[in-house]
Amino acid sequence: MIVFHVTYSLIVLHVASYSYLPKNEVPAYSYGSRNSMHKYHATLIDIPFHVLIVYNNLYCSGALLRSKIVVTAASCLLSDKIRRPVVKVGADSITGTGQIIPVVEIKIHEYYKYLNRIDNDIALLVLKEDVEFNDFVKKAIIVEPEVALRPGTAIDISGWGSTNLPQGYANQLIWTEMIVIDKTECAKYYKNLLSPSNFCAKYLPERRLSDSGGPAVYNRELLVGILSFGGISSEEPFVAILTNMSYFHRWMLLNTKRFQEQYCVPRADSSYSMQSNEEASEST
């Protein structure tokens, strides 16, 4: 209890130095006000950076950061069961065709589970080969460091449908709309799972997901989170916890640089900065 109180106080004090998305206050929001509620199936045109991660008979979601780097939730990767994981890109169903590439290294955050079982819930996967970029395979655009989402902000989270959904969604790429909520509200339900590394959002039960690790995007393009906990249940409180990409921006930058130096052929104009809007269509 004392640990949580100190941690939560640090969250409140530190957030004052953040910039916010959106820049202005968010008006009262109702689900579907962006004309997105009719759409549950997703396509790779919508989210070309969404990837499938498979090991044994298990799977989860992730997002493509670079031509050989994928980010996902560390909780996706059950360490005692990981055997020859592979990543598939360019497919909008689990059984669809796409580029299948083995994973050669897994980097789980050094302080994963430090304050609680989903604290620092992030991992990077290094692929054996470069993906081939096209209209259906692109890198994610990462939110800058020290950026916070205002409560009431709408975000879209994608994943792979499974048996907890109607049959028509099984094995399909789906996405749902969630609304960011204040951590004080989230603490009513999941106080022991909160830390500076995550944030919370509400969802509609009829628009729930099935797996974790899926990318959460703001304004349909900016990667702001990955699904860490929840979001799959048809029972209350209908709250999901997401790993905060802004919080881990520098960690991803540092490790991406290290992996590029180790696994990629250096280029004279090589840059290790995380992808910006201008870089969205470039390969690496």
Residue 202: its H or E element: strand 198-203
Q: CA–CA separation, 198 vs 215, rounded Å?
A: 14
Q: Which of 108-112, 162-166, 238-242, 264-268 has the lowest mean pLDDT?
A: 264-268
Percent of the chain with pLDDT over 90: 71
Whether the per-residue pLDDT at 280 is higher than 50: the answer is no
Q: CA–CA separation, 54 vs 262, rounded Å?
A: 24
182 Cβ partners below 8 Å, 6+ apart?
151
Q: What is the pLDDT of residue 11?
A: 45
Mean pLDDT of 242-259: 97
Whether the per-residue pLDDT at 129 is higher than 80: the answer is yes
- Residue-wise pLDDT for 6-58, tens only, equals 444 444 444 457 799 998 876 665 555 554 444 688 999 999 999 999 988 88
Domains of the chain (ranges plus CATH)? 22-44+141-244 (2.40.10.10), 50-139+247-263 (2.40.10.10)
Q: What is the pLDDT of residue 30?
A: 57
Whether the per-residue pLDDT at 247 is higher than 90: the answer is yes
- Residue-wise pLDDT for 256-266, tens only, equals 999 989 988 66
